[in-house]
Amino acid sequence: MLDTHARKYAEPFIEHSADWFLRKGRTADQITVLAFLTGIGAAVWYIAGAPWAAVLFLWLSGFLDAVDGTMARRTSTSPFGTVLDVTFDRIVEIGIILAIAYVHPEVLWPLLLLSVSIIFSMTVFLTVGTVSEKQGMKSFYYQAGVAERTEGFVLFSLMILLPQWILFITLLYFAVETFTGMQRLFEAKRILR
């Protein structure tokens, strides 16, 4: 929801950063890798006991992920670049979940439920994007939903910074992600007839 409706506020910063990287001769795929490494760094920082650094790296990773897409659209999008981007995004999320599970094994089962809900929602999202004839500004049809990447980052940040509420926040994230998967499934039924 925030990715779809609030991006316009961050867009000037994203575009400026994309222009800067392009002027420096960087490619979208290079920034995708940088976003990935930064996101994995967030998981490492959390395990190392530095939650604020983890959150900072997580959000920097998300910002770079937006920048790489803008760079790709300004140059030329490649199918492999799209695969790399989507795959690395999921690995960053898995890294954060594994780091939280390592630090807070008491919420292992709720984190497993959260992982299942993310798999469900992303399966619908990617499948609809693949079979749909529509295309948005990305190289596939982008299905908006209640839980997009920014909402996930907000909830991950809360899980990292508010460990006393981790069970509640994890279950909330699970519920929101499951709702989003269902929302996308019903939309798919409507648009793919």
Encode pLDDT of 2-24 as tens digits: 556 667 788 899 999 999 999 99
pLDDT of residue 2: 58
Average pLDDT in the chain:
90
What gap in Å lies between CA 193 and CA 191, rounded to an integer? 6
pLDDT of residue 10: 83
- The architecture (CATH level 2) of 2-191 comes to Up-down Bundle (1.20)
pLDDT of residue 137: 46
Domain boundaries, the chain: 2-191
The answer to whether the beta carbons of residues 152 and 173 sit under 8 Å apart is yes
Q: Residue 185: is its pLDDT beyond 50?
A: yes
Task: Out of 8-17, 61-70, 119-128, 132-141, give the one with best mean pLDDT.
Answer: 61-70
pLDDT of residue 141: 56
Query: What tokens appear for 158 in the block?
Result: 């809360």
Q: How do residues 131-180 score in pLDDT, each as one tens digit? A: 876 655 455 555 667 778 889 999 999 999 999 999 999 999 999 999 99
Taking the CB of residue 21, how many other CB atoms lie within 10 A of it? 20
Per-residue three-class SS string for 64-105: HHHHHHHHHHHCCCCHHHHHHHHHHHHHHHHHHHHHHHHHCH
